[in-house]
Structure 1
Amino acid sequence: MVTTLLHPPARILVACDKFKGSLDAAGACAAIADGLARRFPEALIETRPIADGGEGFTASLEIPLCGQWVEVSAHDALGRPVTARYLLASAADGPLAVMEMAEASGMWRIAPDERDVLRASTFGTGEMMRHAIDGSGARRLVIGLGGSATNDGGAGMAAALGVRFLDAHGCELCATPAELAGKLARIDMSGCVPLPPVTVACDVESPLLGPAGATRVFGPQKGADAASMPVLEDFLETLVRVSGGEENAQCPGAGAAGGLGFGLLHFAAARLVPGFDLLASLTGLEQSVAAADLIVTGEGSLDAQSLTGKGPVAIARLARRHGKPVIAFCGRADAAARDSGLFDAVHELAASGLPPDELMARAGDLLESAASILKD
């Protein structure tokens, strides 16, 4: 497809999400921007990688926030030492730390044959939070959820912050589902470090418990089987009861990242916000949309799930609000996305007829080429 524009744009905003398995959001933006620069050499082109609370969320904020990466010694979901990192930026109210829980506690660190959700813990996420507070003096934390290898309701995170989980005899328990299940009797929060305001980027609306909750929806992909699923659900029910967190367990997003949403709500008094909305507010994205003559967005797959408001669709709605033309590039799109009325044009790399493996391998070149033939 070749898109015709009424006038050559003087200012173009390129705001793409990742092309999963091919390009991260920054790479996709760069490829499209290179093509547009060939087609419109006089245009000012701004790139804004976008992400929800999951993979790429922190990286998408590095340039807009002028942040610096901070490395920290932490532990992965199975308790093995790792080096994790978070972003530290200056803000009006003091240092701001931005991190993804998956950096320490993510599935990407665990080989498929190592997955053991009963032993998995978010302790490493809590270590990152504590380092940001104690080591970097962060006055505010922003945490992206997604890609977790855990189902511990945030107990591990809380333990790293000084919360103690006790049995009926007052003995401290290791904060994993395997250790806490059937033993947790009391929670002591007296040693929890003072926490600054915590905002959580979360695009999952699941509650903590029940058929739509953390265990039943996401447990199987983390290695939970028919034997461990009831143990995990019973553990989370006990965690809620002992902590007095019944209200927080019902909140949309409490089930995100294996219940870390609940843990952050209950133990850190966090505020859960849709990932795109948080990214937009932190970076002034809407002002960039308003200033542009053309908005270009995209992701690997534009489909019905995209229409729930993620990434490119959220960008398109912003563009429509400001009366701006918006073009999408994607690997492939379904009819729902193409016919949504949100995009002036949708360019599918799959239309090239190349095999899927080649499409993924050549995604950058194909995006650059497609962007270079937009007509004015």
Structure 2
Amino acid sequence: MAETIVVASDSFKGSVNSLEVGRSICQGIHALYPDDHVVVFPIADGGEGTVDAIMTSREGSRISLNVQGPFGQTVEAHYGLIDNGSTAIIETAEASGLTLVAKEDLDILQSSTYGTGELVKDALNKGVSKIYIGLGGSATNDGGMGLAAALGVRFFDEAGQSLKPISANVSKIASIDTSQKIKAIADVEIVLLVDVDNPLCGERGASFVYGPQKGGNIEQLRDLDRALDRYADLAAEVTGRHEKDSAGAGAAGGLGFGLLTFFNARAEKGIATILELIAIEEVIAKADLVITGEGQMDSQSVNGKAPIGVAQLAQKHGVPTIAIVGGAATDLDALYDAGISGVFDIVNSPMSLKEAMTNAPSLIANTAKNVISFYHRISK
């Protein structure tokens, strides 16, 4: 008997994107059961692939433009327009992402979210009334200074000189002027798609938690944390908004804070909002099986990550969910409680990480064959 299977996996970062994962799983299923109806949904939780995930499932247009990258270089970035052009879908990783620069070239003090601000500005110029901004995967730690500068907020040092909006200059901010802020943004609803609840500062803040992967050493991270704390207090004096301890303020190197403070944004769990935008629940409700996944699954995956969002929707409708992953930890009890029925990693023999990443499509397809064979036999 043919089954209806929904495949909704996150990307295996650095290896295959969400759509490629879905296609590989579909290939594996159809190798054994060609009559099974497989529906593939690319998904993301606000990081890399957010625009693609939404635009694959929604009618709209993709906009491409050259903007400033995280370290001042010119990059080609994309965002989406849906709802007849009234809603923009923007992801920070497109303009300010870690994948835009080689690891050895990372310099956390020179990083800026200015390019993401340029994407927002372009969307405003097109007359949108709502903007979703995914905050994952950034290479930045400027507290949103760059984005704010691109949208008209001005930052000055003690001598009254305008500051270049980079992380190193956050500590030099003596005054902030919002009088030149783009007026159109006041009438636009801004929704932040986040998968973390970190505050801006402190041990769980942007600098200490995410700074190391952006090239920051401990001394730089201490300095940045102090600078962001002072910056947040100054921004609160100017705007009346006290957001440094808000959940998600520390996302994308504090970009969450900048958007909450200067542009009255609100933060939402990225995966829940994205799943709603792509209307996946109505398809899951009619499915027999859901297959999800991500590159690495562990006990932390339960905290707002894409596979758990999918599993919880499936659980709501009594549909079992299986995860196919690049690698899995040993303690997954929290995931089982959250709706994952089983976790299958793709590594089927001793191999290096490089081999696994290079051969991911075939390994994913092979694992999908094992999963679907087992499922059909126990479901008879």
TM-score (norm 2): 0.89
Aligned match of 1:203: 195
Distance across 1 between alignment mates of 2:14 and 2:153: 38
Q: What is the aligned counterpart of 1:187 among 168, 176, 186?
A: 176
Distance across 1 between alignment mates of 2:127 and 2:278: 22
Q: What is the aligned counterpart of 1:113 among 91, 104, 112?
A: 104
Aligned match of 2:329: 334
Shift of 1:300: 2.3
Aligned match of 2:151: 161
Note if contact 2:142-2:253 (Cα within 8 Å) is conserved in structure 1: yes
SS of corresponding position for 1:291: coil
Aligned match of 1:252: 247
Aligned match of 1:173: 163
Note if contact 2:291-2:323 (Cα within 8 Å) is conserved in structure 1: yes
Distance across 2 between alignment mates of 1:69 and 1:242: 37
CA gap 1:323/1:227 in 2 versus in 1, 3 angstroms: closer
Asked if 1:44 is matched to 2:34, the reply is no
SS of corresponding position for 2:299: coil
Shift of 1:164: 1.0
Aligned match of 1:293: 288
Aligned match of 2:351: 355
Distance across 1 between alignment mates of 2:170 and 2:289: 54
**1:160-187 alpha-carbon deviations (Å, 9 max, x no partner):** 00111123454322222333423x2221
Distance across 1 between alignment mates of 2:213 and 2:365: 35
CA gap 1:30/1:114 in 2 versus in 1, 3 angstroms: same
Q: What is the aligned counterpart of 2:225 among 229, 233, 241?
A: 233
Unaligned runs of 5+ in 2: none
Note if contact 2:112-2:142 (Cα within 8 Å) is conserved in structure 1: yes
Distance across 2 between alignment mates of 1:289 and 1:30: 18
Number of aligned positions between the proteins: 364
> What value does the CA root-mean-square deviation take over the aligned residues?
2.1
Aligned match of 1:314: 309
SS of corresponding position for 1:248: coil
Note if contact 2:43-2:50 (Cα within 8 Å) is conserved in structure 1: yes
SS of corresponding position for 1:78: coil
Shift of 1:226: 3.8
SS of corresponding position for 1:71: strand
Decide which moves more: 285-294 or 333-342: 333-342
Shift of 1:36: 1.8
Q: What is the aligned counterpart of 2:116 among 116, 125, 129?
A: 125
Shift of 1:318: 1.6
Distance across 2 between alignment mates of 1:369 and 1:237: 49
CA gap 1:359/1:221 in 2 versus in 1, 3 angstroms: closer
Aligned match of 1:148: 138
CA gap 1:328/1:215 in 2 versus in 1, 3 angstroms: closer
Note if contact 1:61-1:67 (Cα within 8 Å) is conserved in structure 2: no
Note if contact 1:9-1:294 (Cα within 8 Å) is conserved in structure 2: no
Percent identical: 38
Aligned match of 1:304: 299
SS of corresponding position for 1:249: coil
CA gap 1:33/1:282 in 2 versus in 1, 3 angstroms: same
Q: Quick one: which amino acid aligns to residue 47 of structure 1?
A: V
SS of corresponding position for 1:335: coil
Shift of 1:125: 0.8
Q: Quick one: which amino acid aligns to residue 197 of structure 1?
A: E
Note if contact 1:240-1:246 (Cα within 8 Å) is conserved in structure 2: no
Structure number with the higher helix fraction is 2
CA gap 1:361/1:88 in 2 versus in 1, 3 angstroms: same
Asked if 1:84 is matched to 2:77, the reply is yes
Distance across 1 between alignment mates of 2:104 and 2:245: 33
Note if contact 2:195-2:303 (Cα within 8 Å) is conserved in structure 1: no
CA gap 1:344/1:176 in 2 versus in 1, 3 angstroms: closer
SS of corresponding position for 1:13: strand
Q: Quick one: which amino acid aligns to residue 142 of structure 2?
A: D
Distance across 1 between alignment mates of 2:219 and 2:363: 46
Q: Quick one: which amino acid aligns to residue 39 of structure 1?
A: L
Distance across 2 between alignment mates of 1:231 and 1:359: 38
Aligned match of 1:62: 55
Note if contact 2:81-2:88 (Cα within 8 Å) is conserved in structure 1: yes
Aligned match of 2:66: 73
Distance across 1 between alignment mates of 2:160 and 2:269: 39
Q: What is the aligned counterpart of 1:22 among 15, 36, 48?
A: 15
Shift of 1:192: 0.9
Q: Quick one: which amino acid aligns to residue 102 of structure 1?
A: A
Distance across 2 between alignment mates of 1:326 and 1:74: 40
Distance across 2 between alignment mates of 1:107 and 1:329: 25
CA gap 1:192/1:45 in 2 versus in 1, 3 angstroms: same
